[in-house]
Every structure is written in C-alpha cells, then in structure tokens.
Amino acid sequence: MSEVRGVVVAHGDLAHCLVEATRSISGVEDAFRPVSNAGCSPAMLASRIAEAIGDHSAILFVDLASGSCAHTARLVSRERPGVGVVTGVNLPMLLDFAFHRDMEVAELAERLADKARAGISAHPPDDAP
C-alpha cells in the first residue's frame, strides 16, 4: 500500500500554519497539503481539495466539525474511495499521521482521533473551587 496523503482543510491561514508547524517538528516534508477556504466558493473549495488529494488515498484534516470546510470535505470524501475525514485537527494528530501513513485509512482515522483526544488536557488554577 502506498502512503496516505494528509490534506489539512481550514479557514484562513490555519491549514498552512499547521502544516508548517508539523513539518518543523517532525522533519517530514511530504506528508501534507494545506488547503484554505479563503476567498472561494464551496465548488472552488471542493476543487482545491480534490487537487490536493490527487490520485492518492487520503485523510482530510478539518478544523471544525461543521461549517464550509467540513461540509465540503465530507462531500468530496463521499465521491472518492479511500478518503476519510477527521475533524478538530490538532498537532498531536498531525504528528502521529506523519509517522503512520502506511496504515489503512479507516484504522488510521480512528487512531488519529484517539491521539487528538489524548493531546487535550485541562489544568484549572490551583485556587479553583
């Protein structure tokens, strides 16, 4: 199986920033393609996503679980076999993806959601009631 491609789909410059941060931390250069929804219609966004996927299997990492990026990513994934969607993108999931792209898409998507949840913690102030 070839490596799965990661496509980060987000509002504004967020996709580019997340991809650059992940590259900087991991040293992996070719795992991700950033896609922004800035200045485009849903049809244009779908075209950008499809171009970023190319002929690869892929996981679309989306910033929010609802909204234009998520809606369009889900529509594109329905038309493309081997393309999954994971929402709530964060650095822990992107870093894990960079080193596990040889997994099957369905198994990898579940793994990444687990890594994302594990990367979230709350540390209330010591004086909290």
Q: Is the pLDDT of residue 85 over 90?
A: yes
Q: What angle do CA 14, 19, 24 make, to 5 degrees?
A: 125
What is the predicted pLDDT for the residue at 126?
86
Query: Which structure tokens are listed for 90?
Result: 């964060």
Cβ 74 vs Cβ 85: under 8 Å: yes
* Domain CATH code at residue 85: 3.40.50.510
Which residue has better confidence, 126 or 79? Answer: 79
What is the total count of domains within the chain? 1
Backbone angles phi, psi at 62, to 5 degrees: -115, 145
The residues near 95 (Cβ < 8 Å, ≥ 6 apart) are: 22, 25, 26
pLDDT at res. 101: 95
The answer on pLDDT for 1 being more than 60 is no
Is residue 129, in this structure, part of any structural domain at all? no
- Mean pLDDT value of segment 26-37: 96
- 99 is a domain residue: yes
Taking the C-alpha atoms of residue 53 and residue 93, their distance in angstroms, rounded to an integer, is 19
Instruction: Tell me which residue range forms the domain holding 22.
Output: 5-117
- Supply the pTM of this predicted model: 0.92
Whether 122 is covered by a domain: the verdict is no
**7 φ/ψ angles, rounded to the nearest 5 degrees:** -120, 115
What are the pLDDT digits (tens) for 50-78? 999 999 999 999 999 999 999 999 999 99
